[in-house]
Amino acid sequence: MPNLFDMSGKTVLVTGGSRGLGRGIVRGFAEAGANVAIVSRKLENCQAVARETEALGVKAYAYGCHVGHWDEIEPMFEAVWNHFGRVHVVVNNAGMSPTYDKLSSVSEKLFDSVIGVNFKGPFRLCALAGERMYEAGGGAIINMSSLSALGSSPHTAFYGGAKAGLNTIGRACATAFHPKVRVNTVVVGPFNTDVSKYWSDPPASPNDRQTQGGLRVGLPQDMVSTMLYLASDASQYVTGAEIKVDGGGWGVGLTADQDAVS
């Protein structure tokens, strides 16, 4: 059989790609042969990951963009498209889930920031990328959601609402850009990345697959096979789907400090 997961000659754009789960996703695509655009707020962080990525023998492009700012999305996507000549895959990975004491203490600024990064920005990128890729003959969009979208706790109330909206965006865009562009959603559980050190029960080391209390967590490389499946010809008949990658046993409500943040 042909290698359905071979991404050679493809270009993948990953938001939130400079750290955590996004950084692991960038590396996974690069190891599969893809050229990668690394996008996040801090350009210097993107540039550092781009240098690491190019050391794997592929091309990389760094771009600084705040995905919660509507007017920055289109120039970013156009810059990546023009740099590589095409974008085949978009991964809407950027996200934020800040903590707060109680629901009434949430400020409008905090609320708007969470909605902007987790819902508004991904919607805009889905709309622009889906349309452009459809006109170019096809592509794939992968949205990174959260278990909080399925049953948010008080500590993840509006974050969970934003991610639930992202799930809806995925289904709507899958219909809008069918059959040329596949749009799928990954429902992410807790992963041991750079943010896990802020958990009340963190893993003992960066490579541990469980917290010190014994709860199972994932490592960034555990996400790679799912990403390659959804990005490649292996899933050519899959669109509008929501796939949980959470290791099981977490239910649908996470505490504030255990929720997945890229």
- Which structural domains are found in the chain, ordered by start? 11-245 (3.40.50.720)
Q: Give one word for 139, left, alpha or beta, with left for phi > 0 and alpha for psi -120 to 50.
A: left
**pLDDT tens digit sequence for 235-260:** 999 999 999 999 886 554 445 444 54
Q: What is the pLDDT of residue 249?
A: 60
CA distance 156 to 119: 14
- The overall average pLDDT reported for the chain is 91
**pLDDT tens digit sequence for 179-231:** 999 999 999 988 988 878 777 788 888 888 888 877 888 898 999 999 999 99
CA distance 240 to 36: 24
**pLDDT tens digit sequence for 123-151:** 999 999 999 999 999 999 999 999 989 98
Q: Could you tell me the pTM of the whole model?
A: 0.92
* Band of pLDDT at residue 97, cut at 50, 70 and 90: confident
Q: Is 237 a catalytic residue?
A: no
Q: Which of 120, 145, 163, 232 is catalytic?
A: 163
Q: H-helix or E-strand containing 165?
A: helix 157-176
**Average pLDDT of the residues in 60-75:** 98
CA distance 48 to 79: 19
**Average pLDDT of the residues in 38-47:** 97
**pLDDT tens digit sequence for 11-28:** 999 999 999 999 999 999
C-alpha distances out from residue 58 to 1, 12, 31, 239, Å: 25, 11, 8, 28
Q: What is the pLDDT of residue 248?
A: 80
CA distance 169 to 161: 12
Q: What is the pLDDT of residue 207?
A: 87
Q: Which of 40, 148, 159, 232 is catalytic?
A: 159
Q: Is 134 a catalytic residue?
A: no
Closest CA to 253 of 186, 134, 131, 160: 160
Q: What is the pLDDT of residue 260?
A: 44
Q: What is the pLDDT of residue 262?
A: 45
Is-contact 185 192, C-beta < 8 A?
A: no
Q: Which of 18, 145, 146, 262 is catalytic?
A: 146
Q: Strands 181-188 and 242-245: what pairing?
A: parallel
Q: Is 205 a catalytic residue?
A: no
